[in-house]
Structure 1
Amino acid sequence: MYELRGVTKQYRRGKETVHALAGVDLTIPDGDRLVIQGPTGGGKSTLLQMLGGLDRPTSGSVELDGTDLAKLSEAKLTKVRSESIGFVFQSFNLIPTLNAQENVETALVPLGIKAAERRERAAEALKSVGLDERLTHLPSEMSGGQQQRVAIARALVKQPKALLADEPTGNLDESMRDEIMDVLETMWKEHGLTFIMVTHDSAIAKKAPRVATIRKGTITVTEKA
């Protein structure tokens, strides 16, 4: 479970101080599916970075299962990210010179898993997202939707506790958007993940059980009946 208390984030933009987050309190239970929405510059991606341990708050606490990510050393924070948190980004972030299976395997290298098991787990993860016939294809040989499926497989192959997605359908057309959302929702249900997603797409937000709206660094959570 995530527990955020009094989380602020400030940074300088020229002579101006930007308050990206202004005292955010938020509880995200295990297995929750939360969509984060809000205007550009409102703090959506900043909040996701806090949840993923990719950035530290100016003040406040960001706890994952009772551990305050903001207080961990960089080495321990890297370990938490490697073991417990999967990331999916808008731009896929695949390594262009590696094939699909090799890209997925990269998530297992920091865990010290042996090569044979890495290959087996990567192949199984790709099969779970419908890409078992694309193991040896390079990113350039796949569509945008297929590349995002590889990215999802890479995020899930390490069996994380939380899956964080930042505009994962932003580079896809409507049909591919629906396809990727079907994959993500299936993975959420099958793996019992805590699934947190930033999106500007209102059609996606309408289907989410909980929506957190951020405006000017403050947050409002709406729960569907």
Structure 2
Amino acid sequence: MYELKGVTRRYTRGKQTVHALDGIDLTIPDGDRLVIQGPTGGGKSTLLQMLGGLDRPSSGEILLDGTDLATLPEARLTRVRSENIGFVFQSFNLIPTLTAQENVETALVPLGVRTKERREKAAEALAAVGLGERLGHLPAEMSGGQQQRVAIARALVKEPKVLLADEPTGNLDESTRDEIMEVLVRMWKELGLTFVMVTHDSALAKRAPRVATLRTGRVTVEENPGV
């Protein structure tokens, strides 16, 4: 479970102080599927980075299962990210010189998983997202949708507790977008993940059980009871 208490994030832009987050209180239960929406510059990606321990708040607490990510020493925070949090980004972030299988394996290297087990787990993860026949392909040999599937497999191969996705369909056409969302939602259900996704796509937000809207650094949460 995430518990955010009074989370603020301020930074300086020229002579101005920007309040990206301005006193956020938010609870995200285990197994939740939450979509974060809001205008450009409203703090969506900043909030996701806070949840992932990629950035620290100016003030406030970000508790993941009772551990405050805001004050955790860097080495322990890195370990938490490596073990418990999977990330999927809009730009895929695959290493172009590595095959699909090798890209997925990179998530297991920091955990000390041995080579043979890494290969087996990576192959299983790629099969789970429908790429069991593409293990040896380089990113340039795959479509955008296939590359995002590799990124999803990489995020999930370490069996994280949390999946964070920042505009994961932003570079895809509508048909491929729906395919990727089907994969993400299926993985969320099968693995019992806590799944938090930033998107500007209102059609995707309407399919989520809960939607958090960020405006001028403040958050409101609405339920979608029909989902």
**Is this a same-fold pair by TM over 0.5?**
yes
Task: State the match for 1:48 in structure 2.
Answer: 48
Task: State the match for 1:179 in structure 2.
Answer: 179
Task: State the match for 1:23 in structure 2.
Answer: 23
Residue 154 of structure 1, CA deviation: 0.1
Distance 1:103 1:134 in 2: 12
Residue 48 of structure 1, CA deviation: 0.1
Task: State the match for 2:5 in structure 1.
Answer: 5
Task: State the match for 1:144 in structure 2.
Answer: 144
Distance 1:205 1:71 in 2: 32
User: Secondary structure of the equivalent of 1:170?
Assistant: coil
Distance 1:166 1:120 in 2: 28
Task: State the match for 1:115 in structure 2.
Answer: 115
Residue 224 of structure 1, CA deviation: 1.5
**Corresponding position: 1:206 with 2:221:** no
Give 4+ residue runs of structure 1 displaced > 3 Å after superposition.
none
TM-score by length of 2: 0.99
User: Secondary structure of the equivalent of 1:70?
Assistant: coil
Q: Structure 2 counterpart of 1:201, which letter?
A: D
Query: What CA RMSD, in Å, does the superposition of the two structures yield over aligned residues?
Result: 0.3
Unaligned runs of 5+ in 1: none
Unaligned runs of 5+ in 2: none
User: Secondary structure of the equivalent of 1:9?
Assistant: strand
Distance 1:8 1:187 in 2: 31
Residue 149 of structure 1, CA deviation: 0.0
Count of residue pairs brought into register by the alignment: 225
Task: State the match for 1:133 in structure 2.
Answer: 133
Task: State the match for 1:60 in structure 2.
Answer: 60
User: Secondary structure of the equivalent of 2:70?
Assistant: helix
Distance 1:122 1:3 in 2: 32
Distance 1:113 1:173 in 2: 36
2:98·2:138 contact (CA, 8 Å) conserved in 1? yes
**Corresponding position: 1:219 with 2:219:** yes
TM-score by length of 1: 1.00
